[in-house]
Amino acid sequence: MPNVVDGMAPDRARRRIPDATVSRLPVYLRILGEQADERVESISSERLAELAGVNAAKVRKDLSYLGSYGTRGVGYEVGYLVYQIRRELGLTHDWPVVIVGAGNLGQALAGYGGFGERGFPVAGIVDIDEAKVGTVLGGTRVRHIDELPQIVATKRVNIGVIATPGTAAQDAADRLVRAGVTSILNFAPTVLSVPRAIEVRKVDLAVELQILSYHEQRRAGGSIHVVPGSTQRSASA
């Protein structure tokens, strides 16, 4: 039996949590936060599942990887669960991020504000284009990409965000890695080549749209060239 010293990680915390579960924990966390704001103190897997758009068994399995933090016949204490998920996700402190690329997307990300609120303050935004250097985005002055190592070192940045055009993305990644960043969120439509130790996640907006296009095309009946739009009721599922 693992001893619990101070409410901190028992053995459990060292066991690897399945990727699929890790990707859902942030969703549970947001919902639990909202529930806490509404003074809800206890929640069942059934209710949490409903709010998260998944099924209850999945919620219970997911939460069981964190430990046995529920009470049978009752449910989960919201505040405690928030604490445990935050701890597991490493959200007990802020993770400053640096954004590479001050184009449209970089500007939007810097100006978005939601990052900082959720524990990912923008420590800096850089661009290779001298013309963009000095302009202010979301309260952060754009600096030249050559200053990347300094920003990463002084602000203790572990996470880099690539918001450059596809052609510049590999260079951005190389610079981030050299500067000491160990995780990258890549918005460019490019497969990055980085050392194995670097964690990369990719968000490709065009890919998402193309997946939707596939489903639209299917419901239109495949090869038959239906004019898209307006009065569809659509297929079954």
| Residue choice 43, 81, 97, 122 for contact with a second copy (CB under 8 A) | 97
H helices of the chain, in order, are 19-37, 45-52, 56-64, 78-89, 104-112, 114-117, 148-154, 166-179, 205-220
Which residues in this chain contact DNA in the complex, by CB under 7 A?
Answer: 18-21, 43-46, 54-58, 60-61, 63-64, 68-76
Nearest approach, Cβ of residue 71 and DNA (Å): 5
H helices of 90-223, in order, are 104-112, 114-117, 148-154, 166-179, 205-220
Nearest approach, Cβ of residue 221 and DNA (Å): 23
Q: Which of a second copy, DNA, none sits in contact with 8, Cβ below 5 to 8 A by type?
A: a second copy
| Residue choice 42, 102, 107, 174 for contact with a second copy (CB under 8 A) | 107
Work out whether 49 is an interface residue with a second copy (CB under 8 A): no
- Give 95's contacts (C-beta < 8 A, 6+ positions apart): 119, 120, 158, 159
Residues 194-233 that bind a second copy (CB under 8 A): 196-197, 199, 201, 203-220, 222-223, 225, 227-233
| Residue choice 42, 44, 170, 182 for contact with a second copy (CB under 8 A) | 182
What is the rounded distance in angstroms from the CA atom of residue 188 to the CA atom of residue 205?
Answer: 9
Work out whether 156 is an interface residue with a second copy (CB under 8 A): yes
Work out whether 3 is an interface residue with a second copy (CB under 8 A): no
